[in-house]
Structure 1
């Protein structure tokens, strides 16, 4: 978390330089986006998938601290885990002619058209924690989620003595974080923890309340569980 927040601080400063000095790469040869005029004040837009999650609250707070230190204005949009709201929020920030966009996608595919609109408007785009599957992105700031999933699997495997019944609670389908963490977890379990059995894999959408309900339902069918990856 500390390293991620340091990177967020760094990208804020990079955004300032890019907005003032550079023009992003065109999305296609036929489209030549123009850099929006700068009026002196730098305004950054931060679009977060949800603020109903302590991790993203911390991310917002770190971004605000970095923006304050850099002397720039930060506008935060909470998409409430809704791709339509995220698109609307990004389009509103484009209309406000922000200097750069920091986006934490709710869905890696659904966010692409909005990123392309920012590209056309000449607004630099950065993705945070979760990647996008298209559009021109200056930089992606995140931890290595495949490695994170593998580390979690290794820890869990040792905790259960290399055998037993395991449940996997997955994140929001369509997000790079859920896909990559699941990949790292399952690759390790299948290769290095073969005596453990994954008896249930269900989506909990990175939501604590839903995770609780989903796991309670799983326990009805599988009352003996040795470990959970969430």
Structure 2
């Protein structure tokens, strides 16, 4: 298998598709890779009760924050990739620009696939508009209709539908069967393995305490793993204004 840098891939797509289509296709694909790899991490970390229990055992608050932030980031990502091609004077990076850039023989197929991707991202767009990008007052006050129902499999489908838009273009211009690999799985699994090793060490420490073997507990952590500063100082504006701007 040939491994290309992002710049090499961009040049290849431009050569095969022309500058405008090649650039738009490449940038959409790169954005989709980033969104899908983030979703891969989310799914690997939270795919079953065992991984959830492991992460919660480290810190439930951090676990909840990771799950929420990753989920909401991906909702934003699939919305951006299916937003209108232009809004006022702005030009957006979106698969909705592709039907007007491909050859005539592909327009109908790509337009249909774009429509299917829009349908698959309807719930994400509702979440984006009323909860993530903006905080709808009536929703917060329970005075509006609930957000459209979504799920992990619905999010996975939204990503797959966006990928499906790109596949016929890659096949026609590059004779490439474009796949979407699980790019984030290995990173997430490495994180889980370190958490598991830490959990085992925590259990060993508890056993050491029970047996009063305190020597094994000495100097366990470096100074940089200790909390620095007192509670309530991070958001002290007077302190912040004294910190050099490069920090």
Task: Identify the structure with bigger relative contact order (alpha carbons < 8 Å, sequence gap 6+).
Answer: 2
Fold shared, TM-score > 0.5 on shorter chain: no
TM-score, normalising length from structure 2? 0.25
TM-score, normalising length from structure 1? 0.26
Please say which structure displays the higher CA radius of gyration.
2
Structure richer in helix, relative to its length: 2
Structure richer in strand, relative to its length: 1
